[in-house]
Amino acid sequence: MALINPESEVVTQLAGSLSSNLFWISFVVIISFSRCFIRKYFSSLRDIPGPFLASISRVWKGIWSVYYGLKGNIHYKYQDLHEKYGPVVRIGFNEVSFASPDAAKQIYSVSTGFHKTDAYSVYPPPENPDIFTETDEFKHAIKRRMVSNAYSHKTIADMERFVDKTEERLFRQLDERFIGSESKECDLGSWLEFYAFDVIGEIVFSKDFGFLSSGTDRDNAIQFIESSFAYHSVVSFVPNYHKYLLGNPLLKFLAPPKSLLSEIALREIGVRRQGGKELDRRDLLSRFFEARATHPDKMTDLDIFAISHGALIAGSDSTASSLRAMLYYMLKNPQTYASLKSEIDEFDSEGKLSNPISYAEANKMPYLQAVMKEAMRMHPAVGISMPRYVPSKGAEIDGRWYPGGTVVGVNAWVIHRNKEIFGEDADRFRPERWLEDDSKAKVMARNMYQFGAGSHVCIGKNISLLEMTKLIPQLLRTYDIKLVDPDLVWTMNCQFFVKQKGLKVYLEKRRR
Ligand code: HEM
């Protein structure tokens, strides 16, 4: 009988498994290096400048965007990348960011066939996308067509009284809380946010959400939306990971938390479906129901929820962020504030303004229009790039060929600072640039992306312009506004929308 040395058998087995492990580790390392090498030196994007790690792996883009996404300053990081690498930057092994006007025009044009990437599909509701989250262009076109009448110019006139009503509520609260014998600090940024949410409640559901009357973020509803954006905007940079996180199908079996606003939306839709609410006006929800009655095959109850809820989410913080920017830049630039106040006073003394100021009247005030455009140029509400796939047949952008499926995009925070379009002082807030030369102003207007462009241009643009154009002059006509800290530099947090904090002011009632 042969004697077996158990120790030597173990050693042999260990040695065998070690060498097999080493083989597999080396195999994986060689394959990974080869992939990185191919991506860097054989990719059709190999000549495009950008961070080295971005060109060889998904990991750089993932870490970069998640890190700065969580820090909330990714809008500035896009500016830094373009400053360092130029107008075309490779920000992923298959992704390119552009800063040129021609590229932006082409990528977001209706007819060129560029389409939304799956970054959008991580936003809720997953089971039934709304107009914003729908990535199938064919389905998107149908959804958009169904409701485009509801958002058209014609309906804006009907909405003006909803805005008047909310404005009145805002002024009543500001009078009661901040006007008195002694100056009281007013966090105007929060009040503008309450206004933007309440006005959308009126326009979409004929419902007072009660943010203004309570003077608080009721039930933390705004905070809930902010946290949801914080997750979704960050995971949209790495959409493949969503299914392992909150997009995990197993989570469907848990009841997801609902915000106060979703509950109000569901309740209102339920009441309307049963014909239980007599309205003396046509709000957006009633127009969506009309669209469904005309096209029952194309629009379902689920679509009505998705689209009305989507309007609420897309239309509130965007407007609040833009309003805050208008006030902030004006208060930080006393000359601008003085010029706008004298335009308002002049119109007033000439009897050109009603009370409250109508949309048509405010649209005739050139300096007001210039201030609004300039604030949205300096501070576009959306702080991340709007990614699109190059159509499958490929496309030439800025004189260079890109294969189908390449992810391309433009960030408004980058293109709005383009010196060739907006002038050498593009980094400065200067509303006069819009009034100096008509033809230059037209070129600048064509290169503004605060509302996106093309087939996905903001469908609520007219509504938000109505809300903002009426409010700003009425606010300045009613109050003298002073920053509590004239040296204030506000803080910003970009979680899709760039939200600001710290617009503290003193208000004093103006004599008229
Ligand atoms: C100042 C206020 C607003 C700003 C700055 C703004 C900005 C934008 C931008 C940049 C986009 C394009 C996003 C992309 O392509 O990725 C967009 C789309 C959209 N916005 Fe707005 N928005 C505002 C107000 C509103 C309002 C008031 C509503 C609704 C009542 C609304 C509803 C939508 C919807 C549904 C889309 C998706 C459109 C589509 O893909 O066809 N927005 N918005």
Domain assignment of residue 118, yes or no? no
pLDDT at residue 125 is higher than 90: no
- In eight-state DSSP terms, residue 249 is G
Q: Which residue owns the Cα nearest ligand 1 atom 27? A: 315
Q: How many helices (H) and strands (E) does the chain have?
A: 20, 12
Q: Which of 153-167, 267-281, 437-451 is least confident?
A: 267-281
The span from the CA of 304 to the CA of 307, in Å, is: 5
Looking at the domain assignment, is residue 84 inside a domain? no
Whose CA is closest to 260, among 304, 220, 314? 220
> Does ligand 1 lie within 6 Å of residue 320's CB atom?
no
pLDDT at residue number 328? 97
**Pairing state of beta strands 95-98 and 88-92?**
antiparallel
Distance between CA atoms of residues 362 and 379, nearest Å: 21
Decide: 310 and 133 in contact? Cβ < 8 Å: yes
pLDDT band for position 1 (cuts 50, 70, 90)? very low
Which residue in this structure is represented by tokens 């932006």? Answer: 104
Q: Average pLDDT, stretch 375-403? A: 97
Domain holding 302, by residue range, is: 123-383+424-509
For residues 27 and 336, the model is more confident at 336
In whole angstroms, give the CA distance from residue 48 to residue 57: 15
The number of C-alpha atoms within 13 Å of 40 and in the hemisphere containing its C-beta is 13
Tell me the pLDDT band of 2, cut-offs 50, 70 and 90: very low
Residue 125 CA to residue 161 CA, distance in Å, equals 31
Q: What is the mean pLDDT of residues 462-489?
A: 96
Pocket test for ligand 1, best of 110, 162, 237, 318 (most atoms within 8 A of CB): 318
Using an 8 Å Cβ cutoff, are 51 and 16 in contact? no
108: in domain? no
Share of the chain above pLDDT 70, in %: 93
Binding site for heme: what residues are annotated? Answer: 458
Is the distance from the beta carbon of residue 322 to the nearest atom of ligand 1 less than 6 Å? Answer: yes
User: Which residue's CA is minimally distant from atom 1 of ligand 1?
Assistant: 319
Specify if 470 maps to a domain: yes
Q: 306-340 as b/e, with b when 16 or more CB fall inside 10 Å?
A: bbbbbbbbbbbbbbbbbbbbbbbbbbbbeebbebb
* Alpha-carbon span 81 to 309, nearest angstrom: 35
Q: Which residue has the tokens 């029952």?
A: 296
- Tokens at residue 212, please? 């203004």
Nearest C-alpha to atom 12 of ligand 1 is from which residue? 452
Does residue 465 lie in a domain region?
yes
pLDDT at 170 over 70: yes
292 in any annotated domain: yes
C-beta of residue 409 within 8 angstroms of C-beta of residue 106:
no
Q: Are 403 and 392 in contact (CB under 8 A)?
A: no
Q: Does residue 209 contact residue 217 with C-beta atoms inside 8 Å?
A: no
At residue 444, the pLDDT reads 98
Kindly report the length of the chain.
Answer: 512
Residue 33 has pLDDT above 80, yes or no: no
Instruction: Quote the CA–CA distance of 272 and 268 in Å, as a whole number.
Output: 6
Please check whether residue 92 lies inside any domain of the structure: no
Question: Is the CB of residue 448 less than 8 Å from the CB of residue 458?
Answer: no
Q: Is 287 in the pocket of ligand 1 (CB under 6 A)?
A: no
| Count of domains for the chain | 1
Ligand 1, atom 21, residue with closest C-alpha: 458
Residue of higher predicted confidence among 106 and 38 = 106
Burial of 461 (0-12, 13-18, 19+ CB in 10 A): middle
Residue bearing the CA closest to ligand 1, atom 3:
318
Q: What is the pLDDT of residues 300-320, one digit of tens each?
A: 989 999 999 999 999 999 999
| pTM, 2 dp | 0.92
- Provide the CATH number for the domain around residue 223: 1.10.630.10
For the stretch 67-103, pLDDT in tens is 998 899 999 999 999 999 999 999 988 999 999 999 9
The token pair at 479 is: 């109050």
Return phi, psi of residue 61, to 5°.
Answer: -60, -40
Q: Does residue 440 lie in a domain region?
A: yes
Q: Is the CB of 236 under 6 A from ligand 1?
A: no
Bond prior to 356 in cis (omega within 30° of 0): yes
Pick from 138-142, 268-272, 482-486: least confident = 268-272
Tens of pLDDT, residues 242-301: 988 888 877 766 666 677 888 888 898 998 888 766 677 789 999 999 999 999 999 998
What are the pLDDT digits (tens) for 215-239?
999 989 999 999 988 898 889 988 8
CA-to-CA dists, residue 229 to 14, 122, 451, angstroms: 51, 11, 18
C-beta 233 within 6 A of ligand 1: no
